[in-house]
Structure formats: C-alpha cells, structure tokens
C-alpha cells in the first residue's frame, strides 16, 4: 500500500486530494494545525476512528512553521509521496501579513524539503505553485513564462518554486511544481471571490442577505474545477521524470462574468445587489491570468472539462442546497465579517 502525506489536508485541495488517494488505495496522512475550534469540516466525512482496522486516513498535529516537528514526523510516516499544499493562500491577506505569508507560503516548503532530506526518506514531493507567480507577465502563461509576482503571496510562492527545483537539481530528489491556475469548488474558502459570490447569490435569493460588497470586477482569471486539479497533482508524481507543469483550462472570464452568471442562475440582477468596497482592492493587482496547459495534456494526458461558467452554476446550486439543509441557526448567522 502506498503512503502519502498531505500538508494542508484541511483545505479545499487537500480534502479532494485525500479522497482521490483513498480511492486509489493509499494510506493517507495529513498534517493539521491545532486550533481552538475544529478545522476539519472538509475531511470529517472520510475520517474513520484509527482504532478501526480499516482506517487508512491518519491525522497528525503539526505546522509548516515548525521544522523540528516535521523531521521526526516524516521519518516515522516514511511516505512514498508528499503533497505540500499548506499555505497562507489568500492574496489580499498577504498584503496585511507579508512576513507571516513569507514564513508559511515561502519557508514552509523548504522546511518540508529539508525534513525529507534530513530524515533520509526516499519519497516524491509535490509543491503547489501558483499562477500568481506570473503576475504581471501577459497571458497566455506557460512553463516558460517569466515570473513577475505582484503580492507577498506570489513572491513567497516564487521562493517555494525555486527551492523545489533546487532540491531536485542539488540532491536528485523527485520534487516537482504544479503551476496551478485558479481552481474552485463548493469547498472553496468563503473569502475567495468565486465562493463569496455564489454564497451571496444563494443567501440573497433566500432573503437572508441583501448586499454583496466586492472590489475589482475587471480582473480576468482562468477558473477550473478543483477535483480535476488534484488529479493533475497526482499524475505529476506518477510520471517517469520529475518535471514542472502548468494546470489551467485556457479559458478567460472576468469577475463580472462570473458574478453575472451566478446571479442569473438564481434569477437575480447582480447590479441591484452588488456594491463596491475599496477594502477588497489589492495595492498591486494581477490583471489577467490565462494558462496554457498543453504540456500537461501531452505528457500526463491531463485535460480539464469543467469551465468557469458551469462552475459558477455548480457552486450556486451547492450553496443553495447547503442553506436548505441547515436548520434554524443559519438564519441568525451573520453575513461574512467585513474584513473578509
Ligand atoms: P486553502 O486555503 O483552502 O488551504 C490551505 C491549507 O493550508 C489549509 O489546510 C490550512 O490549514 C493549511 N495551512 C495554513 N497555514 C498552515 C501552517 N502554518 N501549517 C500547516 N498548515 C497550514 O488552499 P487551497 O486548498 O485552495 O490551495 C492549496 C494549495 O494550492 C495552497 O498552497 C495554495 O496556495 C495553492 N494554490 C491554490 C490555488 C487555487 O486556486 N485553489 C491555485 C494555485 C495555488 P487550516 O485549515 O488549519 O487553515
Ligand atoms: P486570487 O483569488 O487572488 O486569484 O488567488 P481571489 O478569488 O481572492 O481573487 C480573484 C480576483 O477577484 C478580485 N476580487 C475579489 N477577490 C476577493 N477575494 N474578494 C473580493 O471581494 C473581490 N472583489 C474582486 C481580486 O482582486 C482578484 O483579481 C487565488 C488563491 O487561491 C491563490 O492561493 C492562488 O494561488 C491563485 O488563486 C491562483
């Protein structure tokens, strides 16, 4: 049985990746942060008590800021594959917390890589790199496009990209980067723009919220579907040689396109409900990200099928269904706090 370790298992991608690996027969280990409230809602449905002999998902407390924890943990698990998904992953927040973002999103990767090296474990390593690294480089972006990051987040990801390549070249590790363009799902964090929009569409339609505050509606993004992207991550680690790949759909829509599709889907006119709030602007914005994933299609046979506007409808339906399934207390739940 193959063993995998996922950092960031409680996040959107970590949860889909854990499902995928369990379905392929893996034993899956996940790093989780200790928190005063439970942060495992995306993975609870797969959790089996570890006393049950059928259990194949195991969770371990740890943090990618804590290298001294990672070395014995990786040594003890002895994984065949590590997926480094842990990050402070919000671009706007990275301007408020640049040092923390550098520590987790940047240095976190070298702590994991160095733990693998020091523990002497023979395993393959996947780094969740980002289209934000391309930043101001004009689209379409592919593996050869120069990096021009526009946020502390993007800059931290550039460090992680290069340190992953360096460990591959310096130590012969099978260490690869997935240059991932935006990918979304009903499990997307509620403060990323797609989920913020689809959740608001459902709540406004249900009459529990009236107004949605947004920033720049002109940004162009290449939005794909998260379950398809975790399949791409897995394929990168099954390849014969360690190489870096772009994962993207190649399609381009503005935030306004996504917004209007989501609101149309529930019969609402977005212009009656959306207001501008400058707090959601970034000091430096990334105007257009449109990926060319031709290399992944040719070498890995990876081809995404769900495009942005279908995704908008899938996510609105899921947020509507979630409201239907919630009992009384949801009515009193506040709208998103204003800092998100
Ligand atoms: P999420 O924000 O949903 O998940 C981030 C995960 O990282 C969570 O499990 C979080 O734990 C964990 N984490 C945060 N800080 C630490 C820490 N100090 N130590 C250990 N774990 C930590 O991100 P996504 O699932 O959307 O993205 C996964 C990865 O892919 C990230 O690295 C992201 O930057 C990258 N990426 C994502 C893209 C996307 O469009 N989704 C595109 C390109 C790259 P907790 O639940 O406790 O907060
Ligand atoms: P992004 O995603 O920055 O591309 O990073 P996000 O959904 O946060 O923003 C996309 C675009 O929407 C604009 N926008 C808003 N964004 C948010 N969050 N909230 C708003 O109210 C709002 N209004 C307009 C933004 O300015 C931006 O142009 C995501 C993350 O998952 C990263 O971790 C990942 O690396 C990249 O995608 C690829």
- CATH code, domain with 23: 3.40.50.720
> Which of ligand 2's atoms lies nearest the C-alpha of 340?
19
Instruction: Report CA(7)–ligand 1 centroid distance (Å).
Output: 8
**pLDDT at residue 326, as a whole number:** 64
Domain that holds residue 71: 3-184+223-247
State both tokens at 170: 């310096």
On whether residue 45 sits in a domain, the answer given is yes
Report CA torsion sign: 133, 244, 56, 322: positive
Ligand 2 centroid distance, CA of 189 (Å): 11
Mean pLDDT by 10 residues, the chain (340 residues): 98 98 98 94 93 96 98 98 99 98 98 98 98 98 98 99 98 99 98 98 97 98 98 98 98 98 98 98 98 98 97 97 66 42
**Residue 41 belongs to some domain of the structure:** yes
Q: Which residues are catalytic?
A: 130, 132, 153
**Tokens read off for 141:** 């972006």
Which tokens is 73 given?
């943990």
When divided into structural domains, the chain yields a total of 1
Say which ligand is closest to the CA of 111. Answer: 1
* ipTM of model over 0.90: yes
Which residues surround ligand 1 with Cβ inside 6 Å? 7-8, 10-14, 31, 33, 35, 39, 63-65, 85-89, 104, 128, 130, 180, 182-183, 189
Contact of 139 with 91, CB cutoff 8 Å: no
Sort 98 into a burial class: Cβ within 10 Å, 0-12 / 13-18 / 19+.
Answer: middle
Q: Is residue 13 part of a domain?
A: yes
Provide the whole-model pTM.
Answer: 0.96
Beta bridge partners of 52: none
> Considering the domain boundaries, does residue 172 fall inside one?
yes
Strands 81-84 and 124-130: parallel
Among residues 267, 309, 280, the alpha carbon closest in space to that of 212 is found at: 280
- With respect to residue 233, please indicate whether it lies within any of the assigned structural domains: yes
Distance, CA of 305 to CA of 300 (rounded, Å): 15
Evaluate: CB of 254 within 6 angstroms of ligand 2: no
Would you list the DSSP string of 5-18?
EEETTTSHHHHHHH
Is residue 232 a part of any domain in this protein? Answer: yes
Whether 323 is in a domain gets the answer no
Q: Whose CA is nearest to atom 45 of ligand 1?
A: 10
Distance CA 147, CA 158 (A): 8
Assigned domain for 238 exists: yes
Smallest Cα–Cα separation from 214: which of 291, 281, 284?
281
| H/E stretch holding 228 | helix 226-238
Q: Which ligand sits nearest to residue 35's alpha carbon? A: 1
Which pLDDT score, from 0 to 100, does residue 324 have?
78
Distance CA 199, CA 156 (A): 29
Half-sphere CA count of 292, side-chain side, radius 13 A: 11
Confidence (pLDDT) at 325:
73
Atom of ligand 1 nearest to the CA of 131: 43
What spacing in Å lies between the alpha carbon of 84 and ligand 1's midpoint? 9
Nearest ligand 2 atom to the CA of 191 is 18
Q: Is 335 helix (H, G, I), strand (E, B) or coil?
A: coil
């Amino acid at each position: 049985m193959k063993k995998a370790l996922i950092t960031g298992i409680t996040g959107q991608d970590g949860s889909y990746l854990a499902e995928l690996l369990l379905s392929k027969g893996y034993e899956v280990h996940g790093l989780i942060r200790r928190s005063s409230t439970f942060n495992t809602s995306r993975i609870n449905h797969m959790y089996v008590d570890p006393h049950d002999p059928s259990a194949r998902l195991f969770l371990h407390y740890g943090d990618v800021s804590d290298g001294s924890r990672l070395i014995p943990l990786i040594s003890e698990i002895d994984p065949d594959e590590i997926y480094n998904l842990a990050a402070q992953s919000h671009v706007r927040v990275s301007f408020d917390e640049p040092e923390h973002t550098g520590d987790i999103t940047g240095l976190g990767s070298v702590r994991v890589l160095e733990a693998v090296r020091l523990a002497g474990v023979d395993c393959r390593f996947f780094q969740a790199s980002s289209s934000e690294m391309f930043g101001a480089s004009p689209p379409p972006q592919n593996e050869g496009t120069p990096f021009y990051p526009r946020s502390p987040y993007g800059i931290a990801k550039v460090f992680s990209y290069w340190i992953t390549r360096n460990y591959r070249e310096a130590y012969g590790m099978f260490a690869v980067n997935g240059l991932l363009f935006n990918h979304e799902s009903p499990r997307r964090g509620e403060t990323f723009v797609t989920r913020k929009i689809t959740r608001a569409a459902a709540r406004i339609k249900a009459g529990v919220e009236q107004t949605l505050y947004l920033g720049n509606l002109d940004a162009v993004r290449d939005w794909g579907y998260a379950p398809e992207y975790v399949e791409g991550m897995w394929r990168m680690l099954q390849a014969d040689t360690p190489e870096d790949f772009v994962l993207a759909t190649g399609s381009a829509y503005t935030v306004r396109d996504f917004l209007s599709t989501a609101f149309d889907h529930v019969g609402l006119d977005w212009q009656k409900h959306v207001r501008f709030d400058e707090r959601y602007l970034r000091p430096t914005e990334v105007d257009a990200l449109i990926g060319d994933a031709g290399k992944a299609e040719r070498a890995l046979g990876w081809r995404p099928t769900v495009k942005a506007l279908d995704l908008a409808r899938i996510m609105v339906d899921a947020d509507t269904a979630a409201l239907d399934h919630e009992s009384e207390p949801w009515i009193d739940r506040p709208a998103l706090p204003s800092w998100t």
